[in-house]
Every structure is written in structure tokens, then in C-alpha cells.
A and B are shown apart, each in its own frame.
Chain A
Amino acid sequence: MGVGARPLRRSGIHLLLIVAGLSMVLPFLWMVSTSLRSTIEITRDPHRFLPEVIAGVPAPAAAPQGFARLVANYVEAWQSAPFGRYFFNTIVVALSCLAGVVLTSALAAYAFARLRWRGRDALFMLFLSMMMVPEPVYLVPSFIIIARLGWLDTYAALIVPWTVNIFSIFLLRQHFKTIPQDLFDAATIDGASRFAVLWRIMMPLSKAVLVTISLFTIIGTWNSFLWPLVMTHSPEMRPLQIGLAAFSQEEGTEYGLMMAATTLSVVPLLVLYFFAQRQIIASLASSGLKE
């Protein structure tokens, strides 16, 4: 479990990681590859991996050439719908939900993990059980509530209900439980209030989990579909996934456009993740628990 693995074992591990990693990335590569092909090219040869534009296959005379050919789908996708607005909406909603989730999760997880109060475990079970009901079930009643609050087609409908994430509370609670009681006791004896313990001791020790929660919240809001579909009508309020869905209709998907749009929507998340997972490594360096 450390640095001194034997060379053979190390290269074996690398091999395994690469093979599995390839399987992870291959579909993504196919998605990008398709996004670089025109509809006619895709129809003619649906299973071709290397896009014609990269392989040097000439395009039909009437089609765009050169650089325009490469980005044709991206340009058309961007222009076919107000993607700038969709991105904006998605980002606003994602960041707002993030703030809410981190706040509510930290407070609630602390209460469930470390504080003792009547009804704690029962309430926790109640929270957990809320997760056991799939979205389509509570969709219509939620819609009724949102409609009565006058929040239909507003950011409030997309943000407020999602400022609490029970998965995150559960995860953080599990993590808080692993923090040694000694730290908690020591701080309390020193005169720290419960809030101070949470803020100054438990949160800093939980950077990895907090980053994880933040990441998952952003991904969750970024990819959410059913809820925004029902809660919004106007194009101005639509987030990304709803915009993407328009490329896929019943009688035939415009694969090239759809893959271009999907790639556009996935790349920010990947970039985000790349930096986030570095944070996890960085946080371990400063946590004081590891070498």
C-alpha cells in the first residue's frame, strides 16, 4: 500500500489501469469523433471511428471545407438554440445549489453525527427514507407546490428544492463519525461552542469529503433533466440538458449535432473534476493526519 512496490508489480498495475481507463474513455472519444462528422457521413458509415475530416477524406463539394468543416457541428449546435443562456442558467443553478448543499449538509451532518438529541436517529432514518422514493413519484405533487408558490418557470423552482442533498448529509455524517472523539472533547473543554467545533475543527478535516460533495452536487444539477423539464416552460429558463434533448427527436436523432452539443456540455465538468481531484490530494497534504 505504499511507494515501494516492486517494478514488475508497478508495471502490472499500470497496464491494468490503462486497459480499464481505455474502456472508460473510449465512448467519450467516440462521442467527440461523431461530433466532427456531418450527418451524411454518419448515415453512410455509422460505425466509422476516425472522422473523415481528420482522415483526410474530402467533403462533398457543397459542404464546408477546412476548419469550418471541423467545427461545423459545434457552430450549428451553438446557434440552433440559445446555448449561451442554457449554460448561464445551468451555472447559476449549480453554484446556488452548491452553496446551499454545503451549508445545509455541514450543519445537518454535524447534528446527526456528533450531537446528541432526542429523535436524532429517527429523524435521520426519515431523511434516509426520503431518498428511497424516485423522482417521478414526487414530481407532480412538487409541481403543485411550486405552482402554488408562484415559482414556476423561475430560478427558485430549480434551486431551492435542491439546496438540500440527503446523500451529502449521509456521506458527511459518516465522515464526521470517523473524526476522533478526543479532538471534539479537547476543543469543548477548551471552551469552544459547538458551532466553533464544527467550523474550526471538523470542516477543515473534511476537505476531501466537502470537495467530493461539491463536485457531485454540481454534476447532479448539471445533468438534471426531469425536474427542469417539468418546472420550466420558457426557453430563457432552460438548463443544458433540456436544450440537448431537443436534438433527439422520435423520428431520428441528429447524431453529429447532438454529440457536439453533448461534448460542449461535458467538457466543463471534466475540467472541474480535474481540478477538484487535485484538491483532494492537496487537502491530504495539509490535513495533519497523513505524512
Chain B
Amino acid sequence: MASANPTESPELARCLRRRRRRDGALLYVLPALAIVLVFRFVPIVAAFAFSFYEIKMGALVGFVGLGHYVKLLQDPSFWHSLTTTLWFVLGTVPPAIFGSLFFALLLNRKIRALGFYRTLYFMPVVTSMVAVAVIWKWILEPELGILNFLLERLHLGRPGWLGESRGLFQLLVDPGGRWLPAWAGGPSLALVSLAIVNTWKGLGYNIVIFLAGLQNIPQQQYEAARIDGAGSWQLFRHVTWPILSPTTFYVFIMSTIVSFQTFSLVYLMTSPPGGPEDTTKVLVYYLFDKGFTPPASLGRASAVALVLFLIILGLTLVQRRLAERRVHY
């Protein structure tokens, strides 16, 4: 495996240091840094600053200090959105990683019509969210949709899908709601439906990333391992998985960050947006609603944004701590 430590060889290190002074590493980062500074960093800081003010329809009205944050923490709707988002992330990220890895492995062979398959799997990624929402809403229609039509033929009942506010666990165990308390009902079926659609749409994206990562694996490694008598599973565990780990790490972090920020899916697929009894009201929709639906309070939305940011940041740091040990470069 690669990665010799440069400081192992003092001569090499000195040589590199001399080069460093001449080229200026910062220069490489400068173009990206400039753009990020002006169009991301400054706006985000400004947005967070908004959170301390009262802003009506875009007009600054007054300073409220921590007022928005206090109201936020007291708003049961906020906490509900937070739980909803957590369930959604839980239902999206693992399938995203393992599902796409599985298919990437399948598609990484010399089989016929490979290009055709790969294009097929990528179609959902390329289709706009608007079209995806319309199509899936039709498929999941409880009365007239195809899915329930098939399920009924198989005597599996007619779930309410996007209109079902009852929790998954409740539906599986106690549909009548007789003994399972409300809080233990789990994510609503509506939310689960969204998670499924989200996974379906994003699968191709992650498959492509995994495929690109799989190209890195030198065939010699496989040959060597096979000569040693390794079977498929050992090949995967000892050759593929370790070399793929930076890619897997990337997909893990990215999927989490992205799924925390889900918005258009909810907005377009559930009616009203936010779902049956608010069971699909994820945080970014809650934020958008507070900020852009009159009475539009940008200050309040920005407070939510800061809180959301801190949550994602914290989570990412935890992920890095846990996973980076297992990532081999």
C-alpha cells in the first residue's frame, strides 16, 4: 500500500521544504478561497447576524438579541422538525451508502451492455426533482396509484403512503393505535416514503462516485490476494473496502450533510408541504417556511439556520473522529 512518510527521509524533507518556499501553497487555494469568501462565508456570517434582528419582509425592524433563539427552543414545532429530520437522515444515509456500493460493485465488471445499465441507473439523478415528485406522487397515490393496486392484488393492504401520518412502527405492530404510545410510533409512513424516493433518486449519484473510486484499485492487489486463496468476501473485505475507504468516507459525510438539508423533496411531494400533520416537516422546510412564507421573519429563519449548522457541524466532527481512524490513504 502507498503512503511513505516524507519525514522518514531527511534529504527528501529538506528538498521539499525548499520547494515549498518558492511556490506558495496559499496561491493554489486562493481562487477557491476568494469565491468562497465573498459568496459563501460573508453571506453565511451575515445570515447568522440576521438572527439577532427582527426583519419583516426584508426590512430591518429592530434588534432582538437572543429573542429568536429563545422562541425557537420553546417552539414544539422546532423540536418536532428536528426529530423528523433525524429519522429522515437515518432512513436515507445507510441505504445510500450500502445500496450504491452494492450496485457499484455489480456494475464494475465486464458485463454486456454496461454503458446501458449505467445510464439506466443514472436516470433518476438527472431527472429534475419536479418531475420526480410528480411521478412518485402518482405512483404512491393510495386510491389510484399503481403500487397500491399491486399490493392489493397480493393482499397486502393499501397503505396511505404520502398521506399516512401514523408511524412506521405503529403501523407494523399496532395499527389501531391501542397500546403503543404516540411517541413510540416512529417516523410516519409519509416520511418513510420520502426517504425511499430520496434514496432512489440519489443512488445513481453515489454509484458513479463509488465506480470512480473502484477504478483506483490495482488489479495486481486482487491477483495477489486470489493467489493467496481469498474468496469473494475476503477480497472485498481486505482489498476493496480498505482502498475504497476514502471514497466511502466521502459518501458517508456527503450523504449526511445533504440529507440534513433536504428541502425541495418535501416541498414538492407532500401536500401541504410539511406533510400529514407536519410529519414530513424537516428542518430546512421549517426554516424556509419561517423565512419566506409570510409573515416572513428572516431573523427567525436565520436562527434556525445557525442551530442547524451547529448540529451538522457537530455531527460531521463526530463522524470524522469515528471514521477517520478506519480510512486508509
Contacts and interface: CB of A to CB of B under 8 A. Distances in A.
A169 to B, nearest CB: 6
Contacts, number: 288
Contacts of B25: 111, 115-117, 120
A27 B35 contact: no
A28 B305 contact: no
Interface residues of B, number: 111
Contacts of A161: 35, 38-40
A291 interface: yes
A70 to B, nearest CB: 20
Nearest to A245: B130
Contacts of A138: 40, 43-44, 46-47
A174 B249 contact: yes
A46 to B, nearest CB: 7
A290 B114 CA distance: 18
A80 interface: no
Contacts of A189: 12, 15
B216 interface: yes
A263 B68 CA distance: 44
Nearest to A274: B119
B135 A137 contact: no
A241 B113 CA distance: 32
Interface of A: 1-3, 5, 10, 13-14, 16-17, 20-21, 23-25, 27-28, 30-31, 46-47, 103-105, 107-108, 110-112, 115-117, 120, 123, 126-138, 140-142, 144-145, 160-161, 163-164, 166-167, 169-171, 174-175, 177-182, 185, 188-189, 193-195, 208-209, 211-212, 215-216, 219, 223, 225, 241, 244-245, 248, 253, 255, 258-259, 262, 265-266, 269-270, 273-274, 277-278, 280-281, 283-284, 287, 289-291
A280 B305 contact: no
A278 B32 contact: no
Contacts of A277: 115, 118-119, 122, 208, 211
A248 B131 CA distance: 11
Given A138-B40, A262-B130, A170 B117 contact: no
Contacts of A20: 103, 121
A105 B32 contact: yes
Interface string B172-205: 0000000000000000000000000000100111
Interface centre among B29, B211, B261 (most CB of A within 10 A): B29
A46 B130 contact: no
Given A21-B120, A117-B25, A273-B119, A290 B215 contact: yes
B132 interface: yes
B31 interface: yes
Contact of A181 (B3, B33, B121, B146): B3
Interface-central residue, A160, A258, A269, by most chain B CB under 10 Å: A269
B64 interface: no
B137 to A, nearest CB: 11
B171 interface: no
Contacts of A171: 209, 250
Nearest 8 Cβ contacts at the A-B interface: A180-B2, A141-B43, A161-B39, A141-B46, A138-B43, A111-B28, A117-B25, A137-B305
B198 to A, nearest CB: 14
A71 B156 CA distance: 40
A145 B144 contact: no
Given A3-B109, A104-B31, A24 B128 contact: no
A194 B119 contact: no
Interface in B71-124: 103, 105-111, 114-115, 117-124
